[in-house]
Each structure stands twice: as structure tokens, then as C-alpha cells.
Amino acid sequence: MPLTSLAKLGSRLTRRFYARPTDVVAKALLGQWVLRKTDSGEWLGGKIVETEAYLATDDPASHSYRGPTKRNGSMFRPPGTLYVYSIHAKHCMNVSTEREGVGSAVLIRAIEPVYGLHEMSLRRNQQDPRRLTRGPGMLCQALDINRTHDGIDLITSDEIALLSGQQPSPDEILTGPRIGISHAKELGLRFFLRGNRFVSGSVTNFHTPLN
DNA sequence: TAAACGATCTGCT
DNA sequence: GCAGATCGTTTAT
């Protein structure tokens, strides 16, 4: 079932939530809600189960590494700005962090689908719930998020909203290397919920973050 | 304007 | 598990 009212679920994440170090925001986003409004005024979405941090400095895997371009401009906008880019003919959604002028963001890699599974199935042409939102490209297709949404302010948008959910306990969070990158593979900037079936990629042999 | 490159996914084994 | 498809963006010519 879709969600009819956001207020039933929680309160919107604030600018201050995103205005923190990117790895902190990446961890803090686990357990929070991503919602997307449909044409009929109902909301689809689910719970964030996997994120990655892309840093402003000393991170050659980050799109911002060589400075602002037409594509990555949203990474430099105020914290809480949606950054949507296309890659491999798919879309990925991120949220900018830290402060305006600083090129950093958190990639939302996977959610646990909760509201509007039927609509997501239609968009994904896929019946298996586990294959609806398990990976950044799948997630954007299921929620119909594309490049036209790049630059949206998530604090005020009436199309896409991030709401506070249940914060996982520290021992439920695992960390490891980011997926699919060719640089800075040693950095443990991927975070996901232990034992969650909707996490993409490998989930074995990981540990809890130090802080 | 041509070429190369991915923060990926799917279908097939 | 893996090879191949895929196309917008960036970088080189």
C-alpha cells in the first residue's frame, strides 16, 4: 500500500542533519525513510539500508575530485540538496552534505521497500520484492527519480522527502569498501544494516565502524 | 565531434 | 558468478 500522509511516518530531516561530516551523515541515514510522491498524491518508498560517503577532499573516487562540472554541481550546493547523475544508462541518487561550496555527498545505494510495492513492481517490471530497490539504479527506477530531480532541496520538496525513522544501534551497522570504484578502494566508506536482505553486493566479512 | 569511461544491471550458466 | 549491454558525461583531438 502507498502512504497517504507523510505526517503519519515521521518528521523531515533538517538542514542541520546533513550539515555534518559526510561519513557521519552516511551512517546516520541508515534507518531513515525515503519517500516519493506519485501523481495521485500518495507516497512510495522505504527504509534506507545501504549508503556510501563521497568526500570533498582526498577522495579520487568522488565526482567532485576535479572540481565542479555541469554534472556534479549539486554536490556543492547547500546540505540536503539532491544530486542525481546517470551512469551505465541508469540513475543514482545522492544527498549533498557538510556545507555550501563543499563538494561532498552520500549515495543512497539501497532501501527496504515498504510503501507502494505494487507501483514499484510496475516501474521495475519485476515481481520479486528483493529486486525492486537493491542497488542505486534499481532504487531510482522504482521511485522514478531521474536527472530532472537533480538539485531539488530535500528539506522543502513536495516530490521527494527524507524523513526520520528508527535509528539502528551501533552494532547493527557494518562498514567496508565502496562498490564499483577503481580509486580509493581502501577507504571504508560503505555502510549498511547487518542482516538486511535488501542490501546490494557482498555482505560477508565486514565489521562495525570505529565510531 | 570522436573516443573513452564508468558510484550498474540483467540474463544466462 | 560473469559477460555484455548501455548511454550520458567528460576529456582528448
What was the pLDDT predicted at A103? 98
Burial of A9 from C-beta contacts in 10 A (0-12 / 13-18 / 19+): middle
Contact between the CB of A191 and strand B at under 7 Å: no
Q: CA–C1' distance A71–B2 (Å)?
A: 20
Question: Shortest CA–C1' contact from A125: which nucleotide?
Answer: B10
What was the pLDDT predicted at A204? 75
CA separation (Å) from A160 to A3, A49, A153, A209? 13, 18, 9, 29
Q: CA–C1' distance A89–B1 (Å)?
A: 21
Q: Running along chain A, 211 residues long, what does each successive block of 10 average in pLDDT?
A: 90 98 98 96 97 97 96 98 98 98 98 97 96 98 98 98 96 96 94 96 78 62
Q: CA–C1' distance A26–B3 (Å)?
A: 35
Please give the protein residue whose CA is closest to the C1' of the nucleotide C8. A86
Angle subtended by helix axes A136-143 and A117-124, to nearest 10 = 110
Q: CA–C1' distance A39–B6 (Å)?
A: 33
Of A96, A122, A105, A120, give the one whose Cα is nearest residue A35: A120
Contact between the CB of A126 and strand B at under 7 Å: yes
Flag whether the pTM goes above 0.75. yes
Question: Shortest CA–C1' contact from A84: which nucleotide?
Answer: B7
Amino acid in the structure at residue A201: G
Task: Name the strand (E) or helix (H) holding A93.
Answer: strand A90-96
- On the CB side of A12, CA atoms within 13 Å amount to 14
What was the pLDDT predicted at A211? 62
Q: Residues at the strand C interface (CB under 7 A)?
A: A 66, 69-72, 85-89, 147
Q: CA–C1' distance A70–C6 (Å)?
A: 22
Of A48, A28, A38, give the one whose Cα is nearest residue A6: A38
What was the pLDDT predicted at A72? 98
Q: CA–C1' distance A140–B7 (Å)?
A: 14
